[in-house]
Chain A
Amino acid sequence: GAVVSQHPSWVICKSGTSVKIECRSLDFQATTMFWYRQFPKQSLMLMATSNEGSKATYEQGVEKDKFLINHASLTLSTLTVTSAHPEDSSFYICSASPVTGPSSYNSPLHFGNGTRLTVT
């Protein structure tokens, strides 16, 4: 159980275009989803927390207008990289947990398989 599906697994786009990445919780509802970015040989950096039905919470230094997050349902969050540039090339990973509230403290996050974005 607790499967998170991410699509696409890889995408190549031209500079200046926008790319949408989907994150779905397949067998549970997720009021909160997390978007991470991973550079080669580096750790995961949290970009934003996606909240169903409300605005996402962005980490310091992450451009809200560039990385648009929409969490319109309890099973789907999307990350849109707008006007992509080569420096946006990275591995983007989403995660979610079926547990909410204080019980979520000790509940692991479940991760999608990531999306490799290459901007040419």
Chain B
Amino acid sequence: AQSVAQPEDQVNVAEGNPLTVKCTYSVSGNPYLFWYVQYPNRGLQFLLKYITGDNLVKGSYGFEAEFNKSQTSFHLKKPSALVSDSALYFCAVRDLGGATNKLIFGTGTLLAVQP
């Protein structure tokens, strides 16, 4: 079965510093990976995805993610964090095993950016 793991419950970073939110995956076959952000009491917003091609994927709000097949990782990154980036971040993988192609989410990482 497909799965993703987010080893950090929370990441703290100072504004202006680079940030990394970690995600590792376990899939059979090719991975279809996604990152989403959730602000308090809101739904999820799509940030970026990796399907195939370049290992460095650029997404919304200046975020990017690096796909590393050998390490089975898909870490989310941003060169310079903003206080407004503080939110809950979810890594997800498409489950291709069933008929519905549902998304399987990680446990989420709370990003706190201090001014």
Question: Interface residues, chain A, CB within 8 Å of chain B?
Answer: 4, 6, 9, 32, 34, 42-44, 46, 49, 57, 91, 93, 95, 104-106, 108-114, 116
Inter-chain contact B43/A6, CB cutoff 8 Å? yes
Inter-chain contact A57/B100, CB cutoff 8 Å? yes
* Min CB gap B63→A, angstroms: 14
Give B107's nearest chain A residue, CB to CB: A43
CB contacts (< 8 Å) of B99 on chain A: these are 57
B-side interface residues, number (CB < 8 Å)? 24
**What secondary structure prevails in chain B residues at the interface with A?**
loop
Inter-chain contact B44/A43, CB cutoff 8 Å? no
Q: Give the complex CA separation of A100 and B59 in angstroms.
A: 23
Inter-chain contact A32/B100, CB cutoff 8 Å? yes
Residue-wise, chain B 33-45 has the 8 Å CB interface mask toward A (1 for contact) of 0101000011111
Given pairs A46-B103, A106-B51, A111-B45, 9 additional interface contacts (CB within 8 A): A9-B41, A34-B102, A34-B103, A42-B108, A43-B106, A106-B49, A108-B46, A109-B44, A114-B43
A91: which of B41, B90, B100 is its contact (CB, 8 Å)? B41
Docked complex: B26-77 residues within 8 A CB-CB of A: 32, 34, 36, 41-46, 49, 51
